[in-house]
Amino acid sequence: MTSTSHRGQPHRNRSRRAPDSGPTRLRSALRIMLAPVLAVAFVSVPPAHADPTQQPLLHLEDFTYQGAFRLPTGTFGESSLDYSEGPFVVAPSRGSLFIVGHSHQQAVAEFGMPPLVASTILADLEMADPPVQPFRSVLDRTPDGNPQNLNRIGGLAIRQATQGWELIVNAYEYYDAPGDNTHTTAALRDLDDLSDSSVDGYFTVAGGAGHTSGWISEIPTEWRPLLGGSYLTGQSSGIPIISRTSVGPSAFAFDPTGFDGDPSEIIPTTTLLDFDLAHPLHEDLSNETGTNDLWTHLSRATYGFVAPGTRTYVTIGYSGGHASGVCYKCIQSNGHECGGYCAPDPDDYYQYYWLWDVNDLLAVKAGAMNPYDVRPYEYGAFPTPFENETEEIGGGSFDATAGLLYLTIQKADREQGTYANPPVVVAYSVANPVSDVEGTDTRPWVLLSAPRPNPVARASRVSLTVDRAQVATVTLHDVRGRRLGTLFQGRLEAGVTATWTIDRAGLSDGIYFVWARGETFLRTRRLVVTGRE
């Protein structure tokens, strides 16, 4: 493995990122995400009059881990947080969050939020007190009697209506075999009275129940006239009956005042991003080619929002099958028999993110693009502390005032009892990167080239360029995250492209990952080794 030399100035990295797994990856990622410099170096508040279409794009390094807190196990009212599916919404002015409990009851409770502790050790975290409002079911309380049997909550939002603060509840039927449901939403009218508040619905948010019944988030003020609404809703495949869903994250803008009216009136939406089984985000959903690192049968987005001060639509959730493929009702390598789709390798699952350029969504709104032709400009594994074997992010909520993204890590707290497994709530600051306008970009960029050739039968070359001199390490890992060797460890000079050769000798056929880690960055590239020329 030898380093070669300079090849001029690179362009900004817009590369897509490959997944990885295992403890080596997590420790490496956390060293970057916990670095305080990231929370400072990338902060830049754009002027209030700025054209939002000229605002910058977010990248993985703009998300900085700020800490986490625990939620208590035990039955509170009608449910508990054990086996919670994760949807929730924070209420910053109340210092609390509203969260869905056990998957069987689909009840909602309000918990106060303890202070964040910037640690990756569960025992260090603060525990939330018992709920301010205990769990109370919602889905069976509408006047219409829930005729379409909606039995899963897909997303929550808090809205200030004319009569006060209310809770908007998106819901869907878990196994809608005919795919004929139309209802999507209920409105709990009194946020202070989960137990006895009236619940109106069910409402229908246009776009298809399998496309508009998931997350709900507010659209930043500057984007509302352009996107066609003040709120955004989305959903994705990853739930049963794929033909009824968006086979990739969706986005629909709408005006929530429709929830003040008659539930029989369909709430109109503006389609910004949407897929279906005929037009999926990736056609090879079973990853038979072994090259699909974007979206498979095991992918699901559980939250989405437009980040203020940027032109990025953030979607986040989980994925799998990117290394070993996807099988159906098969036996995994550990002997476990799957009940549906799964990865043959039980370690081939990841917390995942997909970032979209809102300007592309505007092109869809204008009719210049189909909603299924948009592709994320960046995607890949989103490592968090407290990952477990499910690798699932259950839900999210963005606090625009504090610039914090909260996520629930499913079944992550197993230290409260033998069968206890409430989620852990983690928080990331979302920095406003500076403008991408030519001549004004001062944010650090890094270019890790894709290995060439790839797949490789004999040898492949990979290069790295940074715009700031710093110490870096470039390593090779297998699909489980185990380090196999070091290509480089030392100081890289600004603007100099260093290149290394990876000799496949000693490597069996399969998938590997090149990791580049520095003082201000973390990048990965996928390498396929094959015996065929």
The domain total for the chain is 2
What is the distance, to the nearest Å, from the Cα of residue 435 to the centroid of all Cα atoms in its chain?
A: 23
Whether residue 180 lies inside any domain: the answer is yes
Per-residue pLDDT, 480: 54
Per-residue pLDDT, 510: 79
Per-residue pLDDT, 147: 97
Q: What is the pLDDT of residues 300-352, one digit of tens each?
A: 999 999 999 999 999 999 999 999 999 999 999 999 999 999 999 999 999 99
Total Cβ atoms within 10 A of residue 163: 9
Q: What 3-state DSSP class applies to 358?
A: helix
Considering the domain architecture, whether residues 305 and 451 belong to the same structural domain is answered as no
Per-residue pLDDT, 525: 78
Spatial CA neighbour of 301 closest among 357, 379, 372, 231: 379
Whether residue 49 lies inside any domain: the answer is yes
Whether residue 437 lies inside any domain: the answer is no
What is the distance, to the nearest Å, from the Cα of residue 367 to the centroid of all Cα atoms in its chain?
A: 27
Considering the domain architecture, whether residues 267 and 122 belong to the same structural domain is answered as yes
Whether residue 241 lies inside any domain: the answer is yes
**Cβ atoms of 405 and 428 closer than 8 Å:** yes
**Cβ atoms of 274 and 285 closer than 8 Å:** no
CATH number of domain containing 410:
2.120.10
DSSP code for 443: S
Considering the domain architecture, whether residues 153 and 215 belong to the same structural domain is answered as yes
Per-residue pLDDT, 33: 33
Furthest-apart CA pair in the chain: how many Å?
71
Per-residue pLDDT, 443: 41
Considering the domain architecture, whether residues 308 and 187 belong to the same structural domain is answered as yes
Considering the domain architecture, whether residues 396 and 320 belong to the same structural domain is answered as yes
Phi, psi of 30 (to 5 degrees): -70, -35
pTM for this prediction: 0.78
Considering the domain architecture, whether residues 410 and 464 belong to the same structural domain is answered as no
Whether residue 438 lies inside any domain: the answer is no
Q: Which long-range contacts (CB under 8 A, 24 or more apart) does 294-298 make?
A: 294/16, 294/376, 294/379, 295/247, 295/248, 295/319, 295/354, 296/320, 296/321, 296/322, 296/326, 297/237, 297/242, 297/321, 297/326, 297/341, 298/238, 298/326, 298/341, 298/342, 298/343, 298/349
**Cβ atoms of 304 and 337 closer than 8 Å:** no
CA separation, residue 101 to residues 26, 32, 422 (Å): 28, 33, 9
Of 385, 405, 430, which one is at a domain's C-terminal end? Answer: 430
Considering the domain architecture, whether residues 17 and 83 belong to the same structural domain is answered as no
Of 377, 408, 430, which one is at a domain's C-terminal end? Answer: 430
Q: Which domain holds residue 413?
A: 43-430
Per-residue pLDDT, 523: 73
Considering the domain architecture, whether residues 457 and 407 belong to the same structural domain is answered as no
Whether residue 12 lies inside any domain: the answer is yes
Considering the domain architecture, whether residues 228 and 109 belong to the same structural domain is answered as yes
Whether residue 8 lies inside any domain: the answer is yes
Q: What 3-state DSSP class applies to 38?
A: helix
Phi-psi sector, 363: left (phi>0), alpha (psi -120 to 50), beta: alpha
CATH number of domain containing 10:
2.60.40.1930
CA separation, residue 317 to residues 172, 466, 526 (Å): 18, 30, 21
Phi, psi of 17 (to 5 degrees): -110, 145
Strand partners, 424: 70, 409
Radius of gyration (Cα) for the chain, nearest Å?
23
Show the CA angle centred on residue 477, arms to residues 472 and 483, nearest 5°: 75
Instruction: Please give the helix or strand (H or E) that residue 359 lies within, else none.
Output: helix 358-365
Considering the domain architecture, whether residues 31 and 131 belong to the same structural domain is answered as no
Residues of the chain with pLDDT under 50: 1-49, 434-444, 533
Considering the domain architecture, whether residues 278 and 364 belong to the same structural domain is answered as yes
Per-residue pLDDT, 522: 66
Distance between CA atoms of residues 91 and 405, nearest Å? 13
Distance between CA atoms of residues 89 and 231, nearest Å? 14
